[in-house]
Amino acid sequence: MERIRLADDLTFSRLIHGCCRLADWGYSREQLLGLIEFCLERGITTFDHADIYGDYTCESRFGEALALKPSLRGQIEIVTKCGIKRPPKYGMKLYDTSKTHIIASVEQSLANFRTDYIDVLLIHRPDPFMNPEEVAEAFCQLKQDGKVRYFGVSNFKRSQWEMLQSYLPFPLVTNQIEVSAYRLENLEDGTVDLCLEKRVPPMVWSPLAGGAIFSADDDRAVRLRGTFEQVRGEVGAETIDEVLYAWLLVHPARMMPIVGSGKQERIERAVRALSLSLSREQWFAILQSSMGHDVP
């Protein structure tokens, strides 16, 4: 599988496995290990986590599976996030990007994963109460201690990116953003342009729009179902999923879709999408179907 370069000594697999619903899959440690190995066999080596996923349980479940075969750690990249606090662990939902919390969160993540380093740590959401000097101090200390190799953000717009980056002595390596043919916001508001400008490949969450294209009744979803079905036939894909992934994969921004499924068949669909080549006409047919009108 294609590898995407994020730094001199860091690459991600083009497809990333997402663990935000890992707790819902009901897998035993052995089954989860099997899923990880299934991913690795297909070249998916990068795994996306966050401290809060599964009510703060996904990291440790993943770590327990890894512990069955410690040699896997060197073959994978672990991405995790911090900065959101929420029930049940905390009394209310809020953001915390203080130095103390970032470091404590990473320490907990290391314990959960039973590893001594995180490959990439992301600030989960732009925090309107962020003290960028504290974030920089936390990042520098974590890097110096070897606990986190690289840093990035998630859901950041241009102002937030430029602001935080200006306090850091090293470049942020990714911005994890939502993009799909159903949700065009980050394509329309300049966030994807920002990633291209900064040479930062974005991790893409919700590449299938959470299934909305298949189930929602709004005009956009209805239009997209028809267009995706047509393009699916044209390119000979087995499922619409593959076309949804392909629409992102052929974009020049080197988007890395996060495949958030525990089912082998669904992961296979994403892998098959790597072989699809959408034409420019098909790409715009899907875009315009989503917008509901032609480009100007």
The residue type at 139: F
Q: Which is nearer to a copy of itself, 189 or 229 (CB)?
A: 189
Closest distance of CB 182 from a copy of itself, Å: 15
d(CA 157, CA 256): 18
List interacting residues with a copy of itself (CB under 8 A).
Answer: 91-96, 98, 125, 128-134, 155, 157-160, 162-163, 166, 187-194, 196-197, 251-252, 280-281, 283-285, 287-288, 294-296
Burial category of 265 from C-beta neighbours within 10 Å (exposed 0-12, middle 13-18, buried 19 and up): exposed
Q: Which is nearer to a copy of itself, 189 or 218 (CB)?
A: 189
Name the catalytic one among 27, 53, 90, 167.
Answer: 53
Q: Which is nearer to a copy of itself, 94 or 111 (CB)?
A: 94
Q: Quote the tokens at residue 287.
A: 């875009």
Burial category of 285 from C-beta neighbours within 10 Å (exposed 0-12, middle 13-18, buried 19 and up): middle
Q: How many CB atoms lie within 10 A of CB 72?
A: 16
- Do the strands 94-95 and 118-123 form a parallel or antiparallel pair, or are they unpaired? unpaired
The residue type at 295: V
Burial category of 216 from C-beta neighbours within 10 Å (exposed 0-12, middle 13-18, buried 19 and up): middle
Backbone dihedral angles phi then psi of residue 290, each to the nearest 5 degrees: -70, -45
DSSP element (H, E) containing 154: strand 148-154
Closest distance of CB 215 from a copy of itself, Å: 22
Closest distance of CB 193 from a copy of itself, Å: 4
Of the candidates 95, 75, 77, 70, the residue with the CA atom closest to the CA atom of residue 85: 95
Q: Which is nearer to a copy of itself, 111 or 163 (CB)?
A: 163
Write 276-282 long-range contacts (CB < 8 A, 24+). 276/235, 276/237, 276/242, 276/243, 276/246, 276/249, 277/235, 277/246, 277/250, 278/231, 278/235, 278/243, 278/246, 278/247, 278/250, 282/231, 282/234, 282/235
Closest distance of CB 87 from a copy of itself, Å: 11
Closest distance of CB 155 from a copy of itself, Å: 8
Closest distance of CB 197 from a copy of itself, Å: 4
Active-site annotation holds for 53? yes
The catalytic residue positions are 53
